[in-house]
Structure 1
Amino acid sequence: MVVKIRLARFGRVNQPFYNIVVAHARTARNSRPLEVIGTYDPIPKKDTYDDSGKLHKDIKLDVLRAKYWIGVGAQPTETAWRLLSMLGIVEPKYRPGPPQAPQLPDPPKKTA
């Protein structure tokens, strides 16, 4: 059976909070998962230990368990892949940039 690493939403209206879970692919989003491996808070907050005033989104993850599940074949969803790539667990997927015109080679120069 296919196992996925995905997000399970908790929290209130307009205040989302997600658990990063490992679950069977065909179960409901908030059904009981196989394992909860982390949390993700998408609402930016100030870091209490940083004086620069930068906002950050809080990601807490059990890296060893995430590597284990990927090693046994669990497939991360697109959002989970992005979070795992931010933490350096998986390679980031290619993000296509704006389309560029094809580069034509320079015509050969004539020497006289």
Structure 2
Amino acid sequence: MSLKIRLARGGSKKRPVYRVVVADARSPRDGRFIEKIGTYNPLLSVESGQRFVVDLEKAAEWVKKGAQPTDRVARYLAQQGVGTWTNSNNPQKGEPGQKAKERAAERLQKEEDAKAAAAEAAAAPAEEVATEEAASE
């Protein structure tokens, strides 16, 4: 069973309050958990000591047992001296999906076709004027 140390959302609409919990990775975000080890209130200022409150001994104990903190929790635990946090790097995250790439290619093709048609239309009247002038002479 893989364990996660993660945030479980509580509070009302637009007023979030999170519990820092140890839970099975397969359980839902706000569902069943094994133990509550702290709280996180994002509405408080960054300088407030009550913004992220966690029992560091329990957190360190769960990490030793193999619980993996989520990125957000790992960041806050590292600030308080439990474990380390490294910025995750996913260069494919911002890359568009397959359908979006296909739509962009189609849009580019339509623009190229429109430019080619406009260039043909601009060249055709010039040829017609030249032929009309030659015919009138």
The two structures have a TM-score, normalised by structure 1, of 0.71
Aligned to 1:85: 78
- Structure 2: 5+ residue stretches without partners: 90-137
Aligned residues: 88
Q: CA deviation at 1:38?
A: 0.2
Q: CA deviation at 1:83?
A: 1.4
Instruction: Give the number of the structure whose alpha-carbon radius of gyration is greater.
Output: 2
Equivalent-residue separation in structure 2 for 1:87 and 1:8 (angstroms): 20
Which of 69, 75, 81 in structure 1 is aligned with 2:62?
Answer: 69
Runs of 4+ in 1 over 2 A off after TM superposition: 54-57
Q: CA deviation at 1:92?
A: 2.7
Aligned to 1:33: 33
Map residues 47-66 of structure 1 onto 2, 5 A cutoff: 55-56=47-48, 58-66=51-59
CA RMSD of aligned residues (A): 1.9
Aligned to 1:50: none
Q: Which has the higher helix share?
A: 2
Aligned to 1:104: none
Q: Which has the higher contact order (CA 8 A, sep 6+)?
A: 1
Equivalent-residue separation in structure 1 for 2:20 and 2:47 (angstroms): 21
Q: CA deviation at 1:6?
A: 0.3
Q: Secondary structure at the match of 2:43?
A: strand
Share of identical aligned residues, percent? 39
Aligned to 1:18: 18
Q: Which has the higher strand share?
A: 1
Q: CA deviation at 1:59?
A: 1.1
Equivalent position amino acid for 1:22 in 2: V
Q: CA deviation at 1:94?
A: 4.0
1:64-87 alpha-carbon deviations (Å, 9 max, x no partner): 100000001000111111111121
The two structures have a TM-score, normalised by structure 2, of 0.59
Structure-2 change in CA distance of 1:66 and 1:55 (3 Å): closer
1:28-61 alpha-carbon deviations (Å, 9 max, x no partner): 011121000000001124xxxxxxxx85361111
Question: Which range is displaced more, 82-91 or 30-39?
Answer: 82-91
